[in-house]
Structure formats: C-alpha cells, structure tokens
Amino acid sequence: MKITAALAVAPHSDFSVETVDLGAPQANEVLVRIAGVGLCHTDLVFRDQFVPLPLPAVLGHEGAGVVEAVGSAVTDLVPGDTVVLGFSSCGHCPRCAEHLPSYCREFVPRNYAGARPDGTSPISRDGSAVTAVFFGQSSFASHAIADRRNVVKVAAGDDLAIMGPLGCGLQTGAGAVLRSLDCPSGSTLAVFGGGPVGLAAVMAARYRGCSRIILVEPVAARRALGVELGATDVIDPGEGDVAAAIRALLPDGVDFAVESSGRVAVMETALASLASRGALGLVGVPPRAEDALAINIAGMITFGHRVIGIIEGDSDLQGFIPELVALYRAGHFPFDRLIKTYPLADINAAVAAQHRGECVKAVLIP
C-alpha cells in the first residue's frame, strides 16, 4: 500500500515528507493507521548518527492509532482496536521472562538496526528498501507495521492521537520514579530537565507522594508548568551552583535524582546533590555514544551512592501503559498539558518549535 512518511535523509537536515510503499504484516505483526506520533529527542539523535543508521530512514517510535490488519499468528487483536505502540523485545530471554523487556538481550538489534530480525524492511521507495522498524514501528508515517509484542491495546477515546508518547518518553519519566527508583511516599527527589521525560517524573512523584520535588530547568515557562504539575521547588541552573541550591533547600541532599538531559556535567551535579544512600537514575541520551561519567570511587563507597541506568522506565508495556492511561484519565497524570499537535507535513516546524522551547512535547498528526 502507498503511505505518507517523513524520511530522515541526512544528518542534521530537514525530514522529507514523501509517498512510500508499505508491505503487508508478517505473521506476528500488526498494521496500524497512525492517529498521532510523538516527536522524541531520540528520533533526532538517531537521524544525526548517534549510532550509524543507514539513511534514508523512517523513524518515529511513539505512535498510537487504530489496527487495520493483523498477521496470521495474531489472535488477540482485531481491526478497529485502538492501540499504543512501544519498543520491541524478543519475549524469550531472561529479562523478558522477568517482565523487564526494555533490558531484552535483543533490544539493540530489534530497536536500532533499522530492519526486522530477518533483515527485511516493510518500507520501500522506488523499489529500494528503506531503513525502518525503528523501535519496532517507524511511526513517522500515516501507517506503521509493528510486532505484536510492542502493540498495547488501550480503551478508545477522543484522546487517542496524543497517547503515543506513553510508549517511550512519558513511561520513561514516570517509570523512573514509580518503577526503576521506586521512590516511596515522603522521599525527596530532584529532577534535572523539564522536558517531557522530566515533567512525567514530576507528575509521577506527586502521585507517589514525594515530600519535596525539586525541578532544575533553565526555561522559565517549563519551571512554571513544573510547579503546576507537582514540583515543590524550582531552580534555574543559570543562576549559579545547582548542587548548593539543592542543599540550601535540603541540607542532607535528595534521596533520589532523575537526570533527563543526557549532559555529563548535569549528571555530575546530580550526583553531588544526593544524600547518603541516594540513588541517581540516568534516562537522558547523551549527545555522543562515547560520552562517559567520571565517578569519585571513594565518595561513592563512603556515601553508598547508587547510579542506575534506566531504559523505558523499566516498563512492561502490557501492564504499565494501561496503568498510565488509567492515571491520566483519573486526573493523576495530566500529560496532555505537555502536548502541542502539528500536522505530520509540518514535522520540521515542530522540530524547530520544540528546540526553541515553544512546546514541551510535539505530537504529529498524519
């Protein structure tokens, strides 16, 4: 079938919206008509060759939409079902068996390789295969093929178009607090970065009952929004020593920190803000794959600090995404306040607006 897709054609360049060909779903796959797809920082760093990804490529990994067809082995979804698309996993390794599919031993090839496990791509242009299957979906398009394991059925509603970011950024921030760090009620938390991941962490921390939620964010409008969403304190990192500012609020430091910017200097500040036995969760993708964090080992041992890498908020898609939908519809996770929608054809304007801080989370509508 002919579909419309936004292609990444060169690093640090505009996307090209074109007509391409999409094949039929394989036995374990689902064809989804995309209602909306989130624009994520990860899409941009892969376009810009964070790791080598053959271009042209159809990216996009925060899709939501309506099932139009299912493969012969799919028995629990039917055309008309409304779904959120998440990441891909194998389903049979030790981590998948522990309901931690984001740490699947096949996570990298299934999500970053640009092709199915059998080496094929469902998308072609002028008869030549296009890099696709990004995070098992490639949803910067009017339609996407996804593996059954990363398709999550959700209750139908007028809000389907904005549900896609639950499949990555929003579950990453919320899961960091509710699952990876498991911040208990009454604990203290610093969130570094007030983008969609950081603000999802703020909302989750309020829901969990954290006693102090400190948001560190340079953009004033995002600090103000953070307060409305649950932050008890905000810090502008442009005004001086952030670690000192945090300890002025909490002399012992914070019990937990979530770092969402991916910047090494910010990670170091977050470490310096921890209380004894404090834990730092790293969720931000760094600008370069070779970026590394230097840790003072003596201090790490002395204070019992913990640094935890977090992928997708330790989410098991089939359990956590419906949980977040329920929290949203009950008013406890108002992520709709982060979102501004753009036509898919205006993807480059959406990238620019998000870069300028004019919106927290852009969602593209095919």
Q: What is the mean pLDDT of each run of 10 residues along the chain (366 residues)?
A: 97 97 97 97 91 94 98 96 97 96 96 94 95 97 97 93 96 98 98 96 98 96 97 96 97 97 93 96 86 90 96 96 96 96 97 90 97
Distances (CA, A) of 197 to 139, 188, 204, 254: 20, 18, 11, 19
What's the token pair of residue 252?
Answer: 């012992």
Residue 216: beta bridge partners?
192, 235
Residue 110's pLDDT is what?
Answer: 95
**Which residues are CB-neighbours of 177 under 8 A, at least 6 positions away?**
183, 189, 201, 204, 205, 208, 210, 256, 258
CB neighbourhood size of 140 (10 A)? 30
Could you tell me the residue ranges of all domains in the chain?
2-167+334-365, 173-311
DSSP 3-state of 194: coil
Alpha-carbon span 305 to 49, nearest angstrom: 33
Cβ-proximal residues to 268 (8 Å cutoff; 6+ apart), any chain: 293, 294
E strands in the chain: 2-8, 15-22, 29-38, 57-58, 63-70, 82-85, 123-125, 128-129, 143-147, 151-153, 188-192, 212-216, 233-235, 254-259, 274-282, 306-309, 339-343, 361-365
Q: Give every CB contact of residue 182 below 8 A, 6+ residues apart in sequence.
A: none
Angle at 323 between CA 101 and CA 310, to 5 degrees: 40
Token duo for residue 70: 């299912």
Cα–Cα distance for residue pair 42/187, rounded to 1 Å: 30
Domain 2-167+334-365, architecture per CATH: Alpha-Beta Complex (3.90)
Architecture of domain 173-311: 3-Layer(aba) Sandwich (3.40)
